[in-house]
Structure 1
Amino acid sequence: MKTLWKKYEQNKLAHGIFLLIYIGVTSLSLYTAQKSVAAFLLLLTSLLLLYFTKFTNLTKWLIAGFVLVFLLPFTASNGDAYQSYMEVSTLVGIYIAMALGLNIVVGMAGLLDLGFVAFFAVGAYTYGIFATAQASNFMPFGTFPLSGESFWLFIIIGGLVAALFGILLGIPVLRVKGDYLAIVTLGFGEIIRIIFNNLDRPINITNGAMGISSVTPPRLFGIDFLYPSQFYYIVLVLLFFTIFTVRRFEHSKIGRSWKAVRENEIAAQAMGVPLVRTKLMAFAIGATFSGMMGVVFAAKQAFVDPTSFTLLESITILVMVVLGGMGSVPGVILGAAVMTILNLQVLTEMTNWLNQLSLSGIISIPYALSPAKMQRFIFGALLILFALYRPKGLLPAKNRIFIEKDLQGVNRKAKLVTTQEQSENEKLQQKGVQ
C-alpha cells in the first residue's frame, strides 16, 4: 500500500481523476437522495481531499469555488431538505469566519481571548438596532427602520464598530498575559452581554432581555433576502474575502510580527517590533471579521437577543481554533466546519435515529443520554483526545521553508545590482565633475 501511495503521491493526473470521480459520485448521491446527510457530508469532504492534492493554489481555488458556488446548491436543491442544507452551510461559513478572526488573536498573536463573541454581538446589534424601529427611541433625526439596501453598508459599519471595540479591549489589557489576559477578556465579553441585556432603560436602546425582532432583511435589486439559500451566497463572498485577507496578513510583515510576539515578547521588542501597535492590530482585525458576520447573523435570524452571545459561544469558537490547529488557516477552517456540522447535523441525526429505535422497541436510551443532550460532553471528550494524541490540531500550522542556496543566489543578484548601480553613479559623478 505504501508503494502504491508513493507511486501516485506526486501524480497530478491521478489526483485529478480520483477527485473528479469522487465529486461526481457524491454529487449524484446528494441529488438523488435529498435527505441523506451522509451524501451532503461526503460532498463537503471533497474540499478536504482537494486541499491534499498537488494542484496549484489557483487550481484549488477554482475547483473549490465551482463546488461551493454551483455544484453544492444545485445538487441539494432537488428536494425538501434544500433549505436545511443551506442553513447548515451558511452557519458553517459564519463560524469559520469568526474562528479565523479569533485565530489571528489566539493562534498568530498568542493572546488568549475568552470574550470574542462580544464583537459578534456588537456587529449584530449595530444592524439590529438601525434595521428596526428601535433606533427611533434615541435618534432625534432619521426614519427607522432603515431599508434593506442599507445592509450592505452595515457589513462595513459593523466591522468597523467591532474593530473599535477590539481596540478598546486591547488598550487596558496590554500589560497582562496568559491567564490574566483570559480573565480580563472573559470579563469584557460578559460586560458587553450584560450591557445589551440591561440597555432598555432609562432609554430603550437594545430592548433588554426581550431582544430585537423583525429585523429588516437585506435587499438587492428589489429582491429581499429571506431564505438560507440566499444568505448562503452572502456568507460565501464574505468567507472568501476573510480567507484571502487572513492569508495575506499571515505572510506579511504584520503577520510575522504577530508570530514574533507569540513566541517571545521581549525578543520581538528587541528586534524592533512595536508591541502596542501589533497587539492592538490583532484585536482590531480579528474583531472586524466577527463584527461583519454579526451583521449577517442578525439579518438572517431577523431577531437579536443577549442569549445568543454567551460565554459558551466564545469557548466553542476557541475550541474550533484549538481543534483545527492554532495559527493554521486550513486547520481552523476544518475545525470550525467539523464542530458546526457535528453540532447541527451529526448529533441531531444520531438523536433522531436513536429515538426511532426507542419508539420501535429495539433499544431503550434515556432522553438525558441522547447525543444532542451530551453535546458538551462529546466536545470535551474530543478535546481531551486531541490534547493527548494530536496536540497541534487536525492540520497543524506550517512555516515557510527557505532553501539556503536560493537565498544565497538572491543575495548574489542583489550584490551584482548594487555594484552595477554604484559604478553607474560613479560614472555620472565623473561626468558631472568634467
Structure 2
Amino acid sequence: MSAPMIKEFRLPDLGEGLTESEIIVWKVAVGDTVTLNQIIAEVETAKAVVELPSPFAGVVAALHEEPGTVVEVGKPIVSFEIEDDGAGGSAPDAADAKREPNLVGYGAVLEASGRPARRARTLAALRPERVAPVMVVAPPVDRPRSTPPVRKLAKDLGVDLEVVTGTGEDGLITRDDVRNVVGGGDLPAAAQERVGTQAEAIGPHTKGERETRTPIKGVRKFTAAAMVASAFTAPHVTEFLTVDVTPTMELLARLKASRVFAGYKLTPLTLVSKAVLIALRNHPTLNARWDEASQEIVQFNYVNLGIAAATPRGLTVPNIKDADRLSLLGLSTALTELTDTARAGKTGPGALSGGTISITNIGVFGIDAGTPILNPGEAAILALGAVRKMPWEYKDEVALRLVMTLSLSFDHRLVDGEQGSRFLQDLGTMLADPGMVLAMV
C-alpha cells in the first residue's frame, strides 16, 4: 500500500497578471476529504471574487492563511495529504498528471496527452513540493457572511459575528449591524450580556467614533487606480443632451404588456443600450481604443458593452460580449444576468476585461447628469440621468413630458467634438422617436 505524502498548493496567478488575492472564505477545514476540482475557497482579486478549485484529491492537512488575509501569488495556502504513487523523482505519468495543478488554478488537468504539457505562465513555485505537515486550526465552514472591513470593525469593537444578524443583501453583515450590536439591540439575553461585557471593555468612545479607517484593497483599490490613470491619461470631453423620452417610455410600457416579452425584465436601460448599439454603426470612432505602446488606433468591429454596477465590494464594469449581435430579447436577458451576477459578487475576471464602450445608469440614484470617467482603454462612456416629468415644449405648447438627460464623455484623442455630438444627437433622436430607428439601420 502506498504511503501518504504532503503536497502544498500555492496561490496561483488568477489571470491578468494580478500579484495578490485575499482569502474571503474557506469551503473546507483541516481533516476534510476533497475531490479533484472541488471548490475549496473563495478569493478576491483586484477585479472579482473567484472560486478556487482543488488541484488534488486527498485530505486537507493544513490551511496556511486565515480569511481576510491578503496573500501574494506563489505563497502556500493549503497542504494536502495524498497517496504517494511511488514515482519518486521520475517523470510524471498519466495518473500523476491528473493530480498536478494546471495553469492559473482554474481546475486540474483531467487527461494526459502524448506530449509534455505546456507550462506557459505558471510559476515555478506552483509545482507541489514535499513539506512537513503544518496543522492549522481552520475556521468554521459556515461562518457569517461579511466583508473584510466589517470583520475588522467587529474585531476592533470586540463583537463576535456569530451573534450578529445580517441585514444586507442575502444576509450580508454590514457595518451598521455590527455597531447596533454594541448597543445590545434585540439579541438573546445571553448574547446581550456577552456583547455588553465586550462594550464595557472597549471604553466610552467606541460608539460614535470620530473616524473609521478602512484598508484600501481589492476591487476598490483596482478601480481607484484605473480611474486615476484614465482621468490623467485620456483628455476627457463631456457633452450633455436633454431629451423628451415620453415616446420611449410609452414603447417600454407596450413591450412589457406584450406576450413576446412576458417574463423578461425590461427597463429604460434596456432600450437605451439597444439605441447605443444601433448608433455605433454610424459612429464607429466611439468604439475604439488608443494603443499608446504601439502608437495605433484600434478600431473594434464588435461591441462588448460595459455596464457600470455598484456592488458590495465597490464599482465594477462587467461587459456583455458581442452585444451588437443580440436581439432586444437577448440583450434583456444578458443585462439581467450581468446585474444579478454583479450584485451577488460573482462576476468573473473574464467579464471585467475586454470592454469597448460603457454605460452607467446614475438615474437609479435620482441624479440628472454627471461627467463620467472613461473605463480605461475605451473611447466613450454614456451616463443616463433620471427620467423626470417636467414642463416641456410639445407641439408648440407646454406640456408635462418625461425627460432624461444624457451625459457622454469621450476621449478627445479618438473622438472629435463633431463625431461625439452627432452620436449623441442620433441617440437622442431615437429616444425621442423610436420609429426613427427604421431610418438608421
User: TM-score range with shorter-chain normalisation?
Assistant: under 0.3
TM-score, normalising length: structure 2: 0.16
**In proportion to residue count, which structure has more strand?**
2
Greater Rg, structure 1 or structure 2? 2
- TM normalised by structure 1 equals 0.16
Higher relative contact order (CA 8 A, sep 6+): 1
